[in-house]
């Protein structure tokens, strides 16, 4: 997931307070020991992650404390990342794959097992969340989580949609922003038809293809990077976007609301994982542990307002900035209601059927001129 602008109700309070009052806080990782650079390991970490998803202040703090320089390359989708890694892109140590992609990469032997004994802050993770893709964190450590649901400008839409199906209404002609994400958008369409978003049934997928092509006249733009910008500029009245992007938009314009559709929302869980054969495993482990410190994890939420899987971080936020904590807990995009979680789905690997999803997506993007 990604988002290019700071979340103002937190970014101006918590982050500034952390930099001044906490000074980086937490338990320092060993600088010259086994965790930071075992066996004379070069003091470098090559991070390959979603664009604008890791705060620069976090990277700078990690480097200042450990002496490990972080090189940050970015990608726009799980599939783009997988393609580069599978093609032999060398030099990367750490990535941020989503739930289903963890399983795909494990099956392809592309991830290292994680030595959790080197990550004492793993105890800060909220284990009540459904990490079904890797329940023991053998290959992944939770980073952020969230959902994809309906964003709507209540100033321009008289009756906000309560379901995905309403996005096909003629009133939205040329006024929708959708994520540029095949599994999310095809998944939404399958749910609209009453099907499983992870179906392998070719008849159901063909029905979804036809249904999604019917939506083309309503699509203004596909945007996975900053769909909030399209909402805030008035180019789109509604859409299907990341919860963090909805939070950014809502913070700047309270008329933009986030609605969990009646068909059920797709939730996602992003993770830190180490690439198979990584040259800087020690640096990767040190970075993961650093990210899990409460004050550093809150820094991520302040800048990129997705849901935070770090229970210690939320307690830290509650203690240090009650107003920001209340804002986080009171907005459904960051703190989803129980009924939304109960009526939720997670994307899973569909194996060889992935090619069918790819064919549908290519046809849809071609029809929109994308």
Kindly report, residue by residue over 307-317, the tens digit of the pLDDT: 999 999 999 99
pLDDT of residue 90: 73
Residue boundaries of the structural domains of the chain: 8-143+270-330, 146-267+336-367
**Average pLDDT score over residue span 258-266:** 98
- Domain 8-143+270-330 sits in CATH at 3.40.190.10
* DSSP states along 37-98: SGGG--SEEEEEEETT-S-HHHHHHHHHHH-PEEEEEEESSHHHHHHHHHTT--S--EE--B
- Looking at residue 31, what DSSP letter applies? S
**Average pLDDT score over residue span 342-367:** 96
Kindly report, residue by residue over 162-202, the tens digit of the pLDDT: 999 999 999 999 999 999 999 999 999 999 999 999 999 99
Tell me the β-bridge partners of 75.
50
- Least confident piece of the model among 69-73, 89-93, 217-221: 89-93
pLDDT of residue 42: 85
- Name the pTM for this structure: 0.88
Residue 164 token pair: 């995905």
Q: Does 7 have pLDDT greater than 90?
A: no
Q: Pairing between strand 344-346 and 265-274? A: parallel
8-143+270-330 and 146-267+336-367 in the same fold? yes
pLDDT of residue 1: 58
Q: Tell me how far CA of residue 334 lies from CA of 4, 131, 165, 229, 308, in angstroms.
A: 17, 18, 24, 19, 8
Asked if 151 contacts 249 with a C-beta cutoff of 8 angstroms, the reply is: yes
Strand extents, DSSP E, 204-292: 219-222, 238-242, 256-259, 265-274
Q: Which of 8, 44, 60 is nearest to 296 (CA)?
A: 60
Q: What are phi and psi of 355, to 5 degrees?
A: -65, -30
Coil, strand or helix at 267 = strand
**Average pLDDT score over residue span 147-160:** 97
What's the topology of domain 146-267+336-367?
D-Maltodextrin-Binding Protein; domain 2 (3.40.190)
């Amino acid at each position: 997931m990604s988002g290019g602008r700071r979340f103002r109700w937190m970014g101006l309070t918590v982050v500034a307070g952390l930099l001044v009052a906490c000074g980086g806080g937490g338990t320092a990782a060993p600088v010259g020991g086994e965790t930071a650079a075992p066996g004379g390991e070069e003091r470098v970490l090559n991070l390959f992650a979603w664009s604008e998803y890791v705060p620069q202040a976090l990277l700078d703090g990690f480097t200042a404390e450990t002496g490990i320089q972080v090189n940050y390359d970015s990608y726009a989708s799980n599939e783009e990342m997988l393609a580069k890694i599978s093609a032999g892109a060398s030099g990367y140590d750490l990535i941020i794959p989503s739930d289903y992609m963890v399983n795909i990469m494990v099956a392809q032997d592309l991830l290292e097992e994680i030595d959790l004994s080197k990550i004492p802050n793993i105890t800060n993770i909220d284990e009540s969340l459904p990490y079904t893709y890797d329940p023991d964190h053998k290959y992944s450590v939770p980073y952020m989580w969230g959902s994809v649901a309906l964003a709507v400008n209540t100033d321009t839409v008289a009756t906000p949609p309560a379901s995905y199906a309403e996005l096909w209404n003629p009133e939205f002609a040329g006024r929708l922003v959708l994520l540029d994400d095949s599994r999310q958008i095809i998944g939404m369409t399958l749910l609209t038809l009453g099907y499983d978003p992870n179906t392998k049934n070719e008849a159901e997928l063909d029905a979804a293809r036809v249904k999604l092509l019917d939506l083309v006249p309503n699509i203004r733009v596909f945007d996975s990077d900053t769909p909030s910008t399209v909402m805030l500029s008035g180019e789109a009245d509604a859409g299907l976007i990341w919860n963090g992007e909805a939070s950014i938009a809502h913070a700047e314009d309270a008329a933009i609301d986030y609605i969990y559709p009646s068909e059920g929302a797709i939730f996602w869980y992003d993770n830190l994982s180490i690439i198979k054969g990584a040259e800087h495993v020690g640096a990767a482990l040190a970075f993961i542990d650093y990210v899990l410190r409460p004050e550093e994890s809150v820094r991520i939420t302040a800048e990129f307002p997705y849901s935070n899987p770090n229970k210690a971080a939320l307690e830290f936020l509650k203690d240090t900035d009650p107003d920001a904590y209340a804002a986080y807990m009171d907005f459904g995009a960051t703190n989803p209601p129980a009924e939304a979680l109960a009526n939720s789905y997670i994307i899973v690997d569909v194996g060889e059927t992935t090619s069918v999803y790819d064919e549908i997506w290519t046809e849809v993007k071609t029809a929109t001129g994308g």
